[in-house]
Amino acid sequence: MGAVDLVTLGEAFEDLIFLDLPRLPRLGEEIKTDRFVRSPGGGAVITAVAASRLGTRCRVVSGLGDGVKEVLRGEGIEVQDLRRDGEAPALTAALSTRRDRSFVTFNGVNDRLEPRFAAAARRAEDRHLHLAFYPRSCRSWERIVNALRRRGVSTSWDFGWNEGLASDPGFPGLAAALDIVFLNEAEAPLYARRRTLERAIEHWRGHARNAVVKLGPRGSRWVSPTTDVSAPAPSVRVVDTTGAGDAFDGGFLHAFLGGAAPRACLKAGRGLGALSTRGAGGVAGLARAWATR
């Protein structure tokens, strides 16, 4: 495969989304709905689709089900499938009311992928590598990230919510090695080991090359030792928030790789994140022509 602008490496899922439930079911109860969506999911997939629809050349490296591969190829995204014969792809069932959501996930091949992720990352020769999974060996990944930097490959990571990661002694070194750390308003204090968001942001200002904090309806903020920039959130009629943070990452990285200023990167991220909430799943609401508006 030739080099691309953005490689997204991480877990993928097929999302089975049950929408407009009157409430979440009680034990032993069955609730029915006439709204159901199958959608590709997982940070690596949604981030790539968001960036690709803005014109970034992308490749997804993951363990992929056939349906997800078909969607990605239809989007013009290169695919490097790490799933082997006999291994089951991952599935997530989402039960969604208008005010709340619950999930059940079959992790399938994802439990076996980290050594394959590491091998693929070590070979990367693309412009930027974005990672989206929970690393079990932070110190090993710090070495990989530093080796990539020496070869001119920039990196970012969206770790998601994983409480065990906050107590990993190797996590601070990995976070400091990355070019960009993506966090939401709950993850920023968790991984900084601070009680409040503001104290967490001060931590990230001094402990990350660049930290991008997604604040939901309050917008987003980019902090570094030399930068502190915010952007408000747009107003949008929300259908489903699944994958909005990953879509934000895709919009942000598209602008970042295009050399945009920090506030412009945040605005691109917020635009894609907001658009993704207009439809069920992480990609249905994304507009292909958004970049020209």
- pTM of the full predicted structure? 0.91
Contacts of 126 (CB under 8 A, 6+ apart): 3, 4, 5, 6, 7, 59, 153
pLDDT of the residue at 132 = 97
Mapped onto helix, strand or coil, the DSSP state of residue 214 is: strand
Secondary structure of 88-128 in HEC code, one letter for each residue: CCCEEEEEECCCCEEEEEECHHHHHCHHHHHHHHHCCCCCE
Q: How confident is the model at residue 289 (pLDDT cuts 50, 70, 90)?
A: very low
Per residue in 229-259, pLDDT (tens digit) is 999 977 767 665 667 889 999 999 999 999 9
Contacts of 110 (CB under 8 A, 6+ apart): 11, 12, 13, 63, 90, 133
CA 160/CA 168 separation, integer angstroms: 15
What is the separation, in whole angstroms, between the first and last Cα of the chain?
Answer: 32
List 183's β-bridge partners, or say none.
213
The amino acid occupying position 142 is E
With 90 as the cut, is the pLDDT of residue 202 above it?
yes
- Mean pLDDT estimate for the chain: 91
